[in-house]
Structure 1
Amino acid sequence: MTAAGLLEHGRLDEARAAAERDVDARPDDAEAHGLLGRLLARLGELAAAAAALERATRLAPERAQHAANWAGVLRRLARLEPARSALSRALALAPERAELHVNRGNIETSADDDEAAIAWFRHALSLRADLVGAAVSLAQALRRRGRSSQAQGPLEAAVVRQPEAGEAWSMLAAVLLDQGKAERALKVASDGLVRCPTDGVLLLNRGIALTELGRLDEALEALAESQRILPDHVEGAHRLALVHRRLGDVQSAIAAQWRAAVLRPGSPRTWRVIGSLLRMHRRAEEAARAFGVALELQPGHVATLGNLGVVLEGLGLASEALVRFQSAHRLAPNMAIVCDRIGSWHHKRKNWRDAEEWYRRAIVLEPNFTDSHYNLGLTARRQGRSAKAVLHFENAVAFSPEQPGYRYDRALAFLTSGRAREGLRDYHWRWRSDAMATVRHMMRDPVFRQPEWTGELLGGRSLAVWGEQGLGDELWFSGFLDALHGIGGQVEVECDPRLASVLTRSYPRHRIHERTAPPADELLACAMQAAMGDLAMRLGFAERSAPTGYLVADAARVGDLRRRYLGGRSDALVGISWRSTKPKVERSFEAPLSVWQPVLALDGITFVNLQYGTVGAELAEAVERSGTRIIADDDINAREDIEGLVAQVAAMDAVVTVANATAAAAHGVGRPSFVALRLDQDDWRYPEAASVTPWLPLARLYWQVKQDEWDAVFIRIARDLERWRLDWRMQS
């Protein structure tokens, strides 16, 4: 078999040997040198191929094809000037051959001169309108120049003239996607697949179009099939990862992106995406390594520096994080997001002035950068300036009205600044906010799917009311249940199992159910539903004080506790609690017993520990320091035995506490409380800087003047507690 025949059958090594024999036998045969050059090019031996094709061109200077092939190999060797020269020779011999003009355009593409390339591709199409390669190459160059719309016409003509040309269909779909025409792109990709059902790039573009249209399950199917056909296609792996991520399957997204990294380990983009996915999956150390690889491949990439800084901060490496943020700022001093991240770094360390300065810098650079408006609001709230926070949150809402987190935090700022009507109106936005932590949810994976009750009479229908957020919240929200009496239907209440017996005793007209999975049938059968936290708004409590004294404790147990605790003394019983433990560690806080000395030194009071958790050592130190007796009742677990806690609080004459479930319990059983509050107290029921609150009418509020400084707070509490004790003694 001849060398040409062996080449046609793909037997390249044998074809090469045969071609070399032919060249040895006929050293002046241009065709033999030309065939050897084409074979060597196929085998990747470009320098040898160029030499053979140059020889062929010199032996047969009248043959345009030899010069064209030589030019193609020179382009692959990045020897662009010699390539232009060789192709000019071919064009001089055959100016009518459109494919030679395409080749010249490809050389200009390699030289990064897209405008020149576009001119050559257009000329090729003027010579031969059905040349698909010219239309596709023209489209690629136009896309790089951001002029995809100009490519649409030639490609539409190409698919009409050559409907079996899959590359034309796929490029047409791509330019339509560039223009945001996803519906049209989907139709083009689907039509192309009818003719080219195994075209992996067409499947990829179909998947991209479906992704943009939000049809994610179909997109996943198309992209998976594209990857099966084109397992080495990096963009396909990227797109598959994106859809997995949007479907919430972060693990599969990571697997797809790792495949892209294997295929193209030198791509910084691939490692950036892997880092982002690992960060979403809370695999922070791996995310940091991935971002580190991306930076090694592309040092000084600003977004990667920022993302690495965020991950390092999450790992507790605050100094290293700040170094990355500052590096990003040096490289891009005019990027708002970089300034915002530095501001957030200071915010987390309560460096309020620095945080505000950086947020304001971001806004100067980009006035509609909503995150910085929002973060200024958070910073103002944390400093006890909710009225100022409202203004910043309103700016954020104005720029991004559908961002639920902005509206939710604005609601909290309204409430803490005394604007109850506006605050309760927007409090419903908590259900759309990712920041909302609760056992039941109104919108995200809802358990109850009934229509939401908006305050109307039930007309004989039933209403499911369900508890939300933490135990203290349920204790407080349950105070509005009595106001549901008389709405014209049965009320079924679901609550934390620890609260069920207390609420059953307190609300005999309602049916109380422990929270279970799935919920009780009676709850699911209700015609309407309401979250407990929405009752204040639905029942019109924006203009009146919240109910108090609604929890009915076990009277016998209350009496027994008072007798045991007093032991015949005539003291006032005062319960104390000093810590709040939250699911999010950064929201937990305490007023340590070491600062309670002014309170514990008061005479005529027997103090009772109401603090949940293991606190024996702390109590022993406080007793030794103050010389005051503090009763610790080991029979009551204040975290689990809510019946016991409610009875214990009801046995008190007053309570001194931080803002936790104990304050809610005191409010519920109708006992006066003295509540110690942080400057940045994150609870809307305590209006900022106020000494009283309509949400806990029997509470007196004592705010820090400086962040984390409690001494002055407890001096004021001790003064007022002594006055209260004297009044209490006179009345008793």
Structure 2
Amino acid sequence: MPELKLEDLLAQPEEAAKHDLSDAARVDSGPDFKSAIERASPAERKKLRKMAEILQRAVKLAHSGHGAQAAKLAMRALDMDPESALANHVMGVALEELGRLSMALNFYERALNADPNSPDIYQSLAMTAWKLDMLPVAEKFLRIFLRMQPGNVDGTINLAGILRDQGRFDHAVELLRTRIYANPQHYDLWNALGTVLIEAGDPVQAATFYQESLRINPEFARAWNNLAYAHDLVGDSQSAIEAFDKALDAATSRKDQAIMRHGRSLSYLGAGDLERGWAEYAVRLDPDYKDATLFEISLPRWDGTDPAQLKDKTVVMVGEQGLGDEVMFMNTTKDVIEAIGPDGELRIACEKRLIPLFHRSFPDLMIEAHASASVEGRDWRVAESVIRNKPPADLWFPMGNAARAFRPSLERFPEDCGFLVADPEQIAHWQAELAKLGGGLKVGLLWKSLKMTAKRQKYFSAFETWKPVLEMPGITLVNLQYGDVDEDLARAEKDFGVKIHQPADIDLKMDLDGVAALGKALDVIVGPMNATANLTCAVGGEALIATPTAQGWSKLGSDGLPWYPTARLFHGTTFGDWDTPMKAIAAELAARVKQAKAA
């Protein structure tokens, strides 16, 4: 075995967990020292007791956030015995605390090879594999753990979470129900059952189980947070706000509080309380918020409270969050330019693929790409070129901050359609190409997001639910869905007898300027609200949007999308009811076909 060096281990890059384990049972990772010593031979026990004193201190340090110190102590124990299961296990705990998840997994495997009869090692392997999105591996190890400790409630909750994240909702529900029969007063089990059902797309039933969890333990902050989420999904923003308030009263962790405040900010916005919503939305930038993008920009940051602070300044506006967010928040750009005035300057740092579209829309602005990277498990963003350019910038802000200043009410949203400008030549090109497809309404079709997971799928309709739209006579369907769609396109032709045309010579993921022009050239697009829909609406194209709920934060308490006057929203009577919006969209298309024929 090669010599272990602590500096080499700590030099490994930190990895962000690919799965959020906030609803996992919070087990104390680390070995059961007493059990390990009892299993050892009499000759080994004396050495293990001496080693255990060092390793117990290491575990305490790791659990209190001092992973590097814990790793140093674990290395001392490994120097004493490199093959020690206890020492390898604790080194894994320290490295996991430091975010070196793959290295932690390696040490847990070494511990397992030395002691295959330790249930704690299987549990540690399972939890780390879960974080790394190695779900079948995590399931395997946790099932072994539960065979060794069949009554363990925490293990059951975590196995259900792993099954949930694989989309095996029925298996997870059955597992939890069986354990609840034996432990009906265990509030964490009821909460876990709720999390499975909410990700399966049933927030109403999930809320019932969260409420039972809270009946047993009214101070359970996580259940209050989850209940708020359930209320939000069914469009009850006011009840969500009240539940978030209770969650924040009970929460003790700053990281948990940041998650709850972020959720509450979206509920405020969804309820139409824009003043409180935009103010609390600032938590998205808090380093304690797990999904915050961290900006390495050494300038004062404008918080969006006072537009007068921008006057006559050189200001950098930096894109934030996802692609669709960058497009949507450009809605405020004209207001920002006006607030800065003729004696100042606005510069924009955005996603590289958006530069042609943004530059055409605002040709007098300096617009360059921001750079993003994952460093030690966190997303970082820089915008050096627009900041260092002469003259140096005075202020900067992430795009969303401008909404606080310039969109404090629905009345402050512009009524004109399109705040970005698509390429006229490309629009003409696509109009000519679309004309070659024959008569009928030219309809662009989307049906999913590029990032589809078990947790995200509830926000998107299954392909078969689009049948009323796909079979609508008098329309010509054009694919706008990026990613691997060959199977879906073939299925549409085989099962529904519908040809969905694939536009030629355009990369629907990378050529965003071309996508915007194509969206504008089409008569209308239909689908969920993803990046392509944002681009189409931002240039004034029309969209019929299917949504899973009557309320959403970006609606800001309205019936539509104030950001995009050309978008119309269609939702079901309950969360997950996709039949109603699909029939409504089909009816709207039928009316447009009839109108076109009459013209």
Do the structures match in fold with TM over 0.5? yes
Offset at residue 363 of structure 1 (A): 0.8
Offset at residue 358 of structure 1 (A): 2.1
The equivalent of 1:578 in structure 2 is: 446
Rounded to whole Å, the distance in 1 between the matches of 2:70 and 2:477 is 65
| Residues 315, 346 of structure 2: 8 Å contact kept | yes
Tell whether 2:277 aligns with 1:423: yes
| Residues 442, 531 of structure 1: 8 Å contact kept | no
Rounded to whole Å, the distance in 1 between the matches of 2:500 and 2:130 is 47
Give the 3-state SS of the residue equivalent to 1:311 in structure 2: helix
| Residues 353, 510 of structure 2: 8 Å contact kept | yes
Rounded to whole Å, the distance in 1 between the matches of 2:484 and 2:84 is 58
The equivalent of 1:554 in structure 2 is: 423
Offset at residue 595 of structure 1 (A): 1.4
Matches within 5 A, 1:641-660: 641-652=511-522, 654-660=524-530
| Residues 305, 327 of structure 1: 8 Å contact kept | no
Larger helix proportion of the pair: 1
Matches within 5 A, 1:463-502: 463-485=315-337, 486-487=339-340, 489-502=344-357
| Residues 433, 400 of structure 1: alpha-carbon distance in 2 compared, 3 angstrom cutoff | farther
The equivalent of 1:536 in structure 2 is: 403
TM-score (normalised: structure 2) = 0.74
Rounded to whole Å, the distance in 2 between the matches of 1:517 and 1:618 is 33
User: Alignment partner for residue 702 of structure 1, among 570, 584, 587?
Assistant: 570
Rounded to whole Å, the distance in 2 between the matches of 1:263 and 1:656 is 58
The equivalent of 1:271 in structure 2 is: 122
| Residues 684, 303 of structure 1: alpha-carbon distance in 2 compared, 3 angstrom cutoff | same
Offset at residue 341 of structure 1 (A): 1.3
The equivalent of 2:301 in structure 1 is: 452
Rounded to whole Å, the distance in 1 between the matches of 2:436 and 2:126 is 64
Rounded to whole Å, the distance in 2 between the matches of 1:288 and 1:722 is 48
Matches within 5 A, 1:117-156: none
| Residues 367, 386 of structure 2: 8 Å contact kept | no
Offset at residue 208 of structure 1 (A): 5.5
Give the 3-state SS of the residue equivalent to 2:553 in structure 1: coil
The equivalent of 2:508 in structure 1 is: 638
Matches within 5 A, 1:146-545: 203-204=54-55, 207=58, 210-211=61-62, 214-229=65-80, 237-258=88-109, 260-261=111-112, 265-315=116-166, 317-400=168-251, 402=254, 403=256, 404-432=258-286, 442-443=293-294, 446-455=295-304, 457-458=309-310, 462-485=314-337, 486-487=339-340, 489-516=344-371, 521-525=384-388, 526-545=393-412
Rounded to whole Å, the distance in 1 between the matches of 2:491 and 2:346 is 48
The equivalent of 1:68 in structure 2 is: none
| Residues 359, 372 of structure 1: 8 Å contact kept | yes
Offset at residue 724 of structure 1 (A): 7.0
| Residues 228, 695 of structure 1: alpha-carbon distance in 2 compared, 3 angstrom cutoff | same
> Structure 1: which 5+ runs fail to align?
1-166, 172-198
Deviations 1:341-396 (A, max 9, x none): 12222333334454233222211111111222222222223333333323222222
| Residues 466, 582 of structure 2: 8 Å contact kept | no
User: Alignment partner for residue 686 of structure 1, among 528, 552, 555?
Assistant: 555
Rounded to whole Å, the distance in 2 between the matches of 1:624 and 1:544 is 48
Give the 3-state SS of the residue equivalent to 1:494 in structure 2: strand
- AA in 2 matched with 1:639: K
| Residues 392, 253 of structure 1: alpha-carbon distance in 2 compared, 3 angstrom cutoff | same
Offset at residue 611 of structure 1 (A): 4.4
Give the 3-state SS of the residue equivalent to 2:185 in structure 1: coil
Rounded to whole Å, the distance in 1 between the matches of 2:73 and 2:483 is 54
| Residues 386, 413 of structure 1: 8 Å contact kept | yes
Rounded to whole Å, the distance in 2 between the matches of 1:323 and 1:630 is 40
- Superposed CA RMSD: 4.1
| Residues 714, 408 of structure 1: alpha-carbon distance in 2 compared, 3 angstrom cutoff | same
| Residues 308, 646 of structure 1: alpha-carbon distance in 2 compared, 3 angstrom cutoff | closer
Q: Could you say which structure has the greater relative contact order, defined with CA pairs below 8 angstroms and 6 or more residues apart?
A: 2
Tell whether 2:565 aligns with 1:675: no
Matches within 5 A, 1:51-90: none
> Structure 2: which 5+ runs fail to align?
1-45, 374-381
Rounded to whole Å, the distance in 2 between the matches of 1:297 and 1:584 is 35
| Residues 563, 397 of structure 1: alpha-carbon distance in 2 compared, 3 angstrom cutoff | same
| Residues 377, 392 of structure 1: 8 Å contact kept | yes
| Residues 558, 392 of structure 1: alpha-carbon distance in 2 compared, 3 angstrom cutoff | same
Offset at residue 247 of structure 1 (A): 0.6
Percent identity for Structure 1 against Structure 2: 24
Larger radius of gyration: 1
Rounded to whole Å, the distance in 2 between the matches of 1:200 and 1:621 is 62
Rounded to whole Å, the distance in 1 between the matches of 2:299 and 2:510 is 31
Deviations 1:124-173 (A, max 9, x none): xxxxxxxxxxxxxxxxxxxxxxxxxxxxxxxxxxxxxxxxxxx9xxx9xx
| Residues 572, 653 of structure 1: 8 Å contact kept | no
| Residues 305, 282 of structure 1: alpha-carbon distance in 2 compared, 3 angstrom cutoff | same
Rounded to whole Å, the distance in 2 between the matches of 1:623 and 1:212 is 56
Give the 3-state SS of the residue equivalent to 1:691 in structure 2: coil
Offset at residue 499 of structure 1 (A): 1.3
Offset at residue 563 of structure 1 (A): 4.9
Rounded to whole Å, the distance in 2 between the matches of 1:619 and 1:256 is 46
User: Alignment partner for residue 467 of structure 2, among 582, 594, 597?
Assistant: 594
Deviations 1:391-431 (A, max 9, x none): 22222222127322222222222222322222222223334
Name which of structure 1's ranges 254-263 and 638-647 shifts more when overlaid on structure 2: 254-263
Rounded to whole Å, the distance in 1 between the matches of 2:354 and 2:125 is 45
| Residues 685, 696 of structure 1: 8 Å contact kept | no
- AA in 2 matched with 1:392: A
Give the 3-state SS of the residue equivalent to 1:469 in structure 2: coil
Offset at residue 655 of structure 1 (A): 4.2
Rounded to whole Å, the distance in 2 between the matches of 1:235 and 1:627 is 63
| Residues 370, 400 of structure 1: 8 Å contact kept | yes
Rounded to whole Å, the distance in 2 between the matches of 1:687 and 1:381 is 13
Rounded to whole Å, the distance in 1 between the matches of 2:484 and 2:62 is 52
Rounded to whole Å, the distance in 2 between the matches of 1:382 and 1:497 is 33
Rounded to whole Å, the distance in 2 between the matches of 1:219 and 1:347 is 38
Offset at residue 248 of structure 1 (A): 0.7
| Residues 539, 250 of structure 1: alpha-carbon distance in 2 compared, 3 angstrom cutoff | same
Give the 3-state SS of the residue equivalent to 1:334 in structure 2: coil
| Residues 492, 499 of structure 2: 8 Å contact kept | no
